[in-house]
Amino acid sequence: MNARKPAIAFVFVTLVLDILGIGLLVPILPKLIAELSGGNVSAASTTFGALAALYSAMQFLCAPLLGSLSDRFGRRPVILCSLLGSGLDYLLMAWAPTLPWFFLARTVSGITGASLTAASAYIADVSPPEKRSQAFGLIGAAFGLGFIAGPALGGVLGHQGLRVPFLFAAGLTLLNWLYGLFVLPESLPVQNRRAFSWSRANPVGSLVALRRFPIVLSLTATFFLLHTAQNGLHSTWVLYTSHRYSWDTKAVGLSLALVGLMAMVVQGGLVRVIIPRLGERRSILIGLGIGICSMTSYGLATQGWMIYAILLVGSLGMISGPAAQGLISRSVPVNEQGAVQGALSSLASLSGIVGPPIGAGLFGYFIGPTAPIYLPGAAFFFGGFLMLGALLLAARAFRKNPSAPAPQMASAGAPAA
């Protein structure tokens, strides 16, 4: 039991560094791309969008692969290889002389960024089933901490040079890799591993394999709709608040910092109290219900101060994500945790490809001259609609599968390593 605490701490730091590395690039990457594009802002915007889509696409493709590899060889080698790859990739971006090198670097970033899959499986391995939802809240807490610190550090370091944040991220990541190389224990026993299969190590195959677990398959659809709604919100937030409330960069930054802070408070702390009392199923339904109300309220808010009030209350809806992930994890055998987490990560990445253009597109259309009605909150209303669909799918799954998940056992006949 003593080995679990430093292991969980290491995984938490790894997740924080993943988000921190992304946040570091937010203030400087568009400027650096513009510089490499000869100062052409229009061309730089297109390139930036392509790089973001490439990152999400590689995560979508590679998350199931890394998850299946972790089921075969263990979580430790996959996490360490991903950390090493991320560190070297930051160095590549620090010295990339031309844009094609950046596309190569973001391809590698997307592959190594899929380490969230193995990290999530590690959390599932070392957490008791009844506490797994609370443990998955660490992912949200890591997101919150990295989301707050990353852009702030990126802005400060970027004043020293547009390449400096890459070097800083490389140093942190490689130090964490060295630490993990010596202290990180393996979480998946040899007897619980299974043979690698290419049919499961791809996005389609990983989802098809979930047909054996009906409640899991239903909840993955809920998971996808939830993340699509959230990604649509993230992509529209700056555009919406700047347009409707005339927020400047400082006001937008403060609101995003509050998002990160509330993610830390709710998913890093309150889920440990709320989910055990409500249970995972009710936490999912209540969290989605709060999410629907929050999305609708964002779209209806007439004053900027209302956004902060909605954020404080609506953040309680963040309990739905860890609760869903915990229930899914408890519903599958121990030797399939990596594959299932890979499928979830792949869906989250797919939502990152689908959600932003839908959200931004709806916002742009409904504030334009050809729109039948001026409706700047259209993207948020659509997000609420997606969350309503997620809620209905979850409720239907719970009606069809009223019993609790069966105790986890390794799949019969699964070859060990």
Q: Which residues contact 266 (CB under 8 A, 6 or more apart)?
A: 137, 140, 315, 316, 318, 319
Q: Report the C-alpha gap between 89 and 220 in whole angstroms.
A: 31
Phi-psi region of 130 (alpha: psi -120 to 50; beta: other; left: phi over 0): alpha
pLDDT digits (tens, 9 = 90+) for 173-224: 898 899 888 888 888 888 888 877 777 777 777 777 777 777 888 888 888 8
Q: What is the structure's pLDDT at 249?
A: 67
Question: What is the CA 153 to chain-centroid distance, rounded?
Answer: 20
- Give the C-alpha distances (Å, rounded to integers) separating 170 from 96, 303, 311: 14, 41, 33
What gap in Å lies between CA 208 and CA 212, rounded to an integer?
A: 9
pLDDT values of the chain reduced to their tens digit, one per residue, 417 residues:
344 455 777 888 888 877 787 777 766 776 787 787 776 655 666 676 677 778 878 888 888 888 888 888 888 898 898 889 888 888 998 888 888 888 898 888 888 876 677 888 888 888 887 777 777 787 778 877 877 777 778 777 887 888 888 899 889 889 889 988 888 888 888 888 887 777 777 777 777 777 777 788 888 888 889 989 988 887 788 778 888 998 886 787 788 778 888 888 898 888 888 998 998 999 999 999 999 999 999 999 999 999 999 999 999 999 998 888 888 888 887 777 777 877 888 888 888 888 888 888 888 889 888 889 999 999 999 999 999 999 999 999 898 877 655 545 554 434 333
pLDDT at position 404: 55
Q: What spatial distance separates the first Cα and last Cα of the chain, rounded to whole Å?
A: 24
Structure tokens of 148? 């707050």
The domains found in the chain, sorted by start residue, are 1-179 (1.20.1250.20), 206-403 (1.20.1250.20)
161 — alpha (psi -120 to 50), left (phi > 0) or beta?
left
Tokens of 205: 């195959």
Whole-angstrom CA distances from 3 to 7, 118, 184, 186 are 6, 18, 9, 10
In angstroms, the CA 230 to CA 263 distance is 13
Tell me, rounded to whole angstroms, the distance of Cα 408 from its chain centroid. Answer: 25
Per-residue pLDDT reduced to its tens digit, 19-61: 787 777 766 776 787 787 776 655 666 676 677 778 878 888 8
Nearest Cα residue to 288 out of 356, 141, 386 = 386
Instruction: Tell me how far the alpha carbon of residue 382 is from its chain's centroid.
Output: 20
Residue holding tokens 């993207």?
A: 379
Look at residue 127 and give its three-state secondary structure.
coil
The pLDDT value given to residue 375: 93
